[in-house]
Structure 1
């Protein structure tokens, strides 16, 4: 009768029983309080089997506490054969709640500890090597954050400003650059990301390899090939891809500042940033000419200004941190 009753209970809990079997089960439940306890124990184990996962350790502790409470009660009130007969279900129950918990522990990520590097406007360019061997050059006026140790699934960093990346190839662990409104997914490559543009445009310039520019949901907005730049407009949410001279846009990480057909005001603005001076152009007439100009950040201010005199019709005088330019 015991095995037959077990079968009835299992059928009932699985909603796979006939009307006659339901009546037999009801008759059996009415026979004694012990039978009701047996049925309720079966039902509790069955319901707990449906639990697929335990996301927090305290769930496991609560479940074990409640199960032990019920087991103690049953041990005190049931015959020895009942204990032996249903101990296998207790073992199954323990497995069902332990296996997901062990899986949770194995896959649980530790809180990510970030290291943040800030480079001031007049500071030298900062070069760092990430835990995976990737090299990053951080430009003036930029903040860069990266984890002390990358996660199991991806290598994610954050840039606010401008940085040049030479990414270590690892097909199993994608490299992601969080640039605010967009992110750049990298497949082992060299590229530049710039977010601190006055009109809120975010630029991604690819030197070699391949990257995809994505929104924050991970959807591709553009895929770049070497020699291309993607410009993402924050206001319109539009992205435009075009061909560029990557050397002009990325030479800064080698200490070079290159201008191609630039206005004098553009050149002097950059000199202001690099040398932390204020340049004032004394002229009633605006110079509309454009100039090609190159200088190294390691060169002295006076050397750079003397070189500028060779390409532009200017004279200059310096008073403390202010420089006055007069046009010839």
Structure 2
């Protein structure tokens, strides 16, 4: 797409033919849609800078982060366009929650925010880190799918989750962040927490690290408000919630590639290792059965390394059964 035509459209001087060309280009691909709305947001930022300087400066970091996620050619294209608009660094922002519909003077063109599906299909405990358009960071656990718009529009920031994820939500009190699962809704303003939706047993687990979250049923009925260090286990079948005080750091350390077990028996450790590595372990646990342990290990370690670590803290040898 010719940058001059984009510039003319945003400045309101494009001809009808050029508007048609812009519309066709936007419809051509999702990449084009994302690029256009980013450029439109940057253009709009010029007109609010004088009245909302604080928001401008706050949003600059989000713009830079968003641009850095764009593929090489697109990143260069976007930055070149920003330079052409003549916006100085402190004013070069993007309104991440802009509207994704607009009206040409000759006809309506209702363009929805493109929907993107992030998947971590691996079943080997690998972690996938993604960055959403509002600056929120998400760690996806194994066999997890997250569906969200490429840019948030409207009064809320809504995403759909199947599986397990940890969120560090960008603060925006005017636009609450809502996680939809099969069982319930989790509403936050700016906080860090994990969600594990387990359809097999109809349980949704929420663990709060910082801030606060409001749990609701899908019909909007409020269930509970969590405080840091609390775990909520919501049952879809009984529509009940169990609140527990937990070590949130330990239970959410999986996002760093760690399995952390706190105050567990030796049999629980062995079961976890066997399930993680799909192995069978031989170990004399008779003298250890009444003891409790704290045990952490990295997924990336070889099974033998994890067993050597276990042998060191227990004083008992452990080996893999062929």
Q: Taking structure 1 as the reference length, what is the TM-score of the superposition?
A: 0.58
Larger Rg: 1
Confirm or deny: 8 A CA contact 1:119 1:138 kept in the other structure. Answer: no
Deviation at 1:256, TM superposition (A): 2.4
Distance 1:282 1:303, change over 3 A: closer
Match status 1:164 vs 2:166: yes
> Where do 1:284-303 residues align within 5 Å?
287=289, 289-303=291-305
Residue aligning to 2:127: 125
Confirm or deny: 8 A CA contact 1:136 1:163 kept in the other structure. Answer: yes
Match status 1:279 vs 2:256: no
Residue aligning to 2:184: 182
Stretches of structure 1 lacking an aligned partner (at least 5 in a row):
1-101
Aligned partner of residue 278 in structure 1, secondary structure: coil
Deviation at 1:303, TM superposition (A): 1.4
Deviation at 1:158, TM superposition (A): 1.8
Q: Give me the whole-angstrom Cα distance separating, in 1, the residues matched to 2:219 and 2:200.
A: 25
Q: Give me the whole-angstrom Cα distance separating, in 1, the residues matched to 2:153 and 2:225.
A: 25
Match status 1:238 vs 2:218: no
Distance 1:143 1:166, change over 3 A: same
Aligned partner of residue 241 in structure 1, secondary structure: strand
Confirm or deny: 8 A CA contact 1:193 1:205 kept in the other structure. Answer: yes
Q: Give me the whole-angstrom Cα distance separating, in 1, the residues matched to 2:191 and 2:272.
A: 28
Confirm or deny: 8 A CA contact 2:274 2:281 kept in the other structure. Answer: no
Confirm or deny: 8 A CA contact 2:115 2:147 kept in the other structure. Answer: no
Q: Give me the whole-angstrom Cα distance separating, in 1, the residues matched to 2:112 and 2:242.
A: 38
Confirm or deny: 8 A CA contact 2:263 2:292 kept in the other structure. Answer: yes
Confirm or deny: 8 A CA contact 1:109 1:151 kept in the other structure. Answer: no
Distance 1:272 1:140, change over 3 A: farther
Deviations 1:58-110 (A, max 9, x none): xxxxxxxxxxxxxxxxxxxxxxxxxxxxxxxxxxxxxxxxxxxx9xx69x662
> Where do 1:47-62 residues align within 5 Å?
none
Q: Give me the whole-angstrom Cα distance separating, in 1, the residues matched to 2:184 and 2:178.
A: 10
Residue aligning to 1:5: none
Confirm or deny: 8 A CA contact 2:264 2:292 kept in the other structure. Answer: yes
Deviation at 1:289, TM superposition (A): 4.1
Residue aligning to 2:80: none
Distance 1:298 1:186, change over 3 A: same
Residue aligning to 2:13: none
Deviations 1:196-246 (A, max 9, x none): 386432111111111100111222111111111211122211012232211
Q: Give me the whole-angstrom Cα distance separating, in 1, the residues matched to 2:167 and 2:196.
A: 11
Q: Give me the whole-angstrom Cα distance separating, in 2, the residues matched to 1:269 and 1:284.
A: 13
Q: Give me the whole-angstrom Cα distance separating, in 2, the residues matched to 1:280 and 1:296.
A: 18
Deviation at 1:112, TM superposition (A): 4.9
Q: Give me the whole-angstrom Cα distance separating, in 1, the residues matched to 2:253 and 2:118.
A: 24
Deviation at 1:314, TM superposition (A): 4.5
Q: Taking structure 2 as the reference length, what is the TM-score of the superposition?
A: 0.59
Q: Give me the whole-angstrom Cα distance separating, in 2, the residues matched to 1:134 and 1:111.
A: 17
Q: Give me the whole-angstrom Cα distance separating, in 2, the residues matched to 1:282 and 1:242.
A: 32
Stretches of structure 2 lacking an aligned partner (at least 5 in a row):
1-104
Q: Give me the whole-angstrom Cα distance separating, in 2, the residues matched to 1:133 and 1:217.
A: 28
Q: Give me the whole-angstrom Cα distance separating, in 2, the residues matched to 1:225 and 1:309.
A: 37
Residue-pair matches, total? 217
